[in-house]
Amino acid sequence: MKHRLFIASFIQPDISHDIRLLQECFICQRLKLTAPENFHITYSFLGLRREDEIFSIKKLLPEINEAIDGVSFHLADVMCFEQHGRSPVVLRLELSRNISSFIEYFQHITGGDKKTFVPHITIAKAGNDCVTEVLKEYKKLFSGFRKEIALEKAVLAESVTAPEGSVYQIL
């Protein structure tokens, strides 16, 4: 059996609350909001992995946590990763200090997605027919929403698709 894995840090409750307030400002029937308990910063998407790979990836977590110690992000923008069907609407994050190889580091040690990866927090999924409208509205709302996020401990998590949306489980 394969698992859809990623390396992430879950969000502090005060930041989750602020993001939830941002979500509630724009309601669209074609928009599926991410539940606050599922807010997390994705550092590296690992894709589908076999059961026997989980243990070796988890062994990397102490090294990953050492690398992110003292690092924080600023919420930078609202963007969308275009996908077939429903596209994630995400808060794009920027590092508060210059670590030129931060994401490459995660990709290298975990064998993660080799595409250009953007650290992000998924706040909703939108039907492709309304992505432009959703982004335009969120960008207006987001202009006054500048928060710094201190990184919490990184974890290995799995994304499980359920009828009500993705559910994230820490492994």
- pLDDT, tens digit (0-9, with 9 covering 90-100), for 49-94: 999 989 988 988 898 888 777 777 777 777 777 665 555 666 566 6
Mean pLDDT, all residues of the chain? 75
Q: How high is the pLDDT of residue 42?
A: 85
83: containing domain:
2-170
Q: How high is the pLDDT of residue 100?
A: 44
Residue numbers in the chain where pLDDT is lower than 50? 98-100
Q: How high is the pLDDT of residue 155?
A: 93
Q: How high is the pLDDT of residue 67?
A: 77
3-state secondary structure string, the chain?
CEEEEEEEEECCHHHHHHHHHHHHCCCCCCEEECCHHHCEEEEEEEEEEEHHHHHHHHCCHHHHHHHHCCCEEEEEEEEECCCCCEEEEEEEEEECCCCCCHHHHHHHHHCCCCCCCCCEEEEEEEECCCHHHHHHHHHHHHCCCCCEEECCCCEEEEEEEECCEEEEEEC
CATH number where 139 lies: 3.90.1140.10
Domain count, the chain: 1
